Amino acid sequence: MRAQVSGKEVAIEKMPWISERDVMAFSAYPARDGTCGVLIQLDEHGSVVLDTLSVERRGGFLFVFINGRFITELQIDKRVSDGKIYIPSGLTAADIDLMKKDWRLIGERKKR
């Protein structure tokens, strides 16, 4: 795969560092390009992994796939210790509907 930001060829690891099991909640919003963006809040495990990645892989890229589809690449330019991943755009309304089935919205009580 070719990185969009750097234009370099990159290899993507087969196993994700962070997966859907690490997501605790999210907040969606309409993006300027007509797609949707989201703020994803990770659970404790995901937050620790993101913090570790942001320190050890600084200058690298985090590739985001949702529902098996490439959404965006994020350059790791600083430490991320709050457990939040901001995806500015690229998701569809159908993606958001599927996310609502699995995760709560930020600010809502936990699903039972």
Give the domain CATH number at 74.
Answer: 3.30.1360.200
What digits encode the pLDDT tens for the residues 40-97? 999 999 999 999 999 999 988 888 998 888 899 999 999 999 999 999 999 999 999 9
Q: Is residue 67 part of a domain?
A: yes
The pLDDT of residue 112 is above 60: no
pLDDT score for 107: 87
Q: Domain of 40?
A: 23-105
Q: Strand 36-42 and strand 84-91: pairing?
A: antiparallel
Q: Compute the distance between CA of residue 76 and CA of residue 112 in angstroms, rounded to an integer.
A: 34
Q: Give domain status of residue 73, yes or no.
A: yes
Answer whether residue 52 is part of any domain: yes
User: Is 39 a member of any domain?
Assistant: yes
pLDDT tens readout for residues 7-47: 767 777 788 899 999 999 999 999 999 999 999 999 999 99
Write out the two tokens for 3: 């990185």
pLDDT of residue 21: 95
> Which pTM does this prediction carry?
0.85
Is 110 a member of any domain? no
Whether residue 18 contacts residue 83, with contact meaning beta carbons closer than 8 Å, is answered with no
Q: Please indicate, yes or no, if residue 7 is contained in any of the structural domains.
A: no
What does the pLDDT look like over 99-109, one tens digit per residue?
A: 999 999 998 87
Q: Is there a domain that residue 16 lies in?
A: no
Structural domain total, the chain:
1
